Amino acid sequence: MRISLVQLDTIWEDKAANLKRLDAMIMPLINNTDIVVLPEMFNSGFSMDPESLGEMMGEETFNWMKNTAVKGNFGLCGSYIVAENNHYYNRFVFISPEDQVWQYDKRHLFRMAGEEKSFTPGTGRVIFSFRDVRILPLICYDLRFPVWSRSGSDVDLIIYSANWPESRKSVWNTLLKARAIENQCYVAGVNRTGTDGNGIRYSGESAIIHPYGDSIMTADSDRECIITGEISIPFLSEFRRKFPVMNDADDFSIQI
């Protein structure tokens, strides 16, 4: 499977401009990859103004994602602000070219930016299968919480859609590798670049990580770009068979 990460310099709170730029960036990926991953709040930047930017499912951004997935013959995913039942969610949406839809609401809201004051946290994890790859979608701050990211033989790929500031880039790079190693799975983490409307800088450094913890592909710092890497489920299955770490893992339950 080929996975492409779109490292975008998101235009602050301008949905139309961001979708237009993404149209141009994604064009070379049409019929040339399996999954395209976009950053957290890819249509607006990490804004705490959900009243102005939130959409119901099935509106502008959702329809753009649906049409783009069909046109490109790939799964398209990323997070944006969704309004539902008088609540706002930082929602990861994955749409297949066959019009299958999976969604995950960010569980760990970034209190240092006041995200918990504007958004409602998710209440559960989601695991789904796309083109025979089992995927766990997560969002940015979730990366810091190994229990929430914990997987066994039921997950092949963890995807993190993020707006992770440059000031903590060493944490980003370290934890992506840690999540791959401890879960014996592939990890794809996409981050934005540029400076947002609050003056916070983002360095990008999006990456696809091998189950060994090695980088398959890593994006440059401070530059819009797309990186594409391949993952192998037969290799992963054989690695887990030969080195069955999960047979000795501790049992636990997650309390919400």
Structural domain includes residue 44: yes
Does 256 map to a domain? no
255 within a domain of the structure (yes/no)? no
From residue 166, how far is each of 48, 142, 169, 196 by CA, in Å? Answer: 19, 17, 5, 12
CATH number of residue 22's parent domain: 3.60.110.10
pTM of the model: 0.97
Residue type, 64: W
Could you say which DSSP state residue 204 is in? B
Beta strands 207-209; 186-191: pairing state: antiparallel
Structure confidence at residue 57 (pLDDT): 97
pLDDT in tens, 36-75: 999 999 999 999 999 999 999 999 999 999 999 999 999 9
Per the listing, tokens 């310099």 go with 9
Q: What domain range is 38 assigned to?
A: 2-247
More confident residue, 149 or 251: 149
Catalytic positions, written as ranges: 40, 106, 140
- Give the pLDDT score at 256: 76
DSSP labels, 78-94: EEEEEEETTEEEEEEEE
Residue 86 lies in a domain: yes
Q: Residue 223 is encoded by which pair of tokens? A: 């530059």
User: 81-91: per-residue pLDDT in tens?
Assistant: 999 999 999 99
Query: How much is the mean pLDDT over the chain?
Result: 97
pLDDT bracket for residue 255 (50, 70, 90)? confident
Mapping DSSP to helix (H, G, I), strand (E, B) and coil, where does residue 240 land?
helix
Q: Calculate the CA dihedral of residues 114, 118, 124, 128 and round it to 10 degrees.
A: -100
In a domain, 254, yes or no: no
How many structural domains does the chain have?
A: 1
Integer Cα distance of 206 and 161 in angstroms: 10
| Residue 252 located in a structural domain | no
Question: Which has the higher per-residue pLDDT, 57 or 255?
Answer: 57
- In this predicted model, what pLDDT tens digit does every residue of 95-115 receive, in sequence order? 999 999 999 999 999 999 999
DSSP per-residue string spanning 111-126: GGGTHHHHSPPP----
pLDDT digits (tens, 9 = 90+) for 210-248: 999 999 999 999 999 999 999 999 999 999 999 999 999
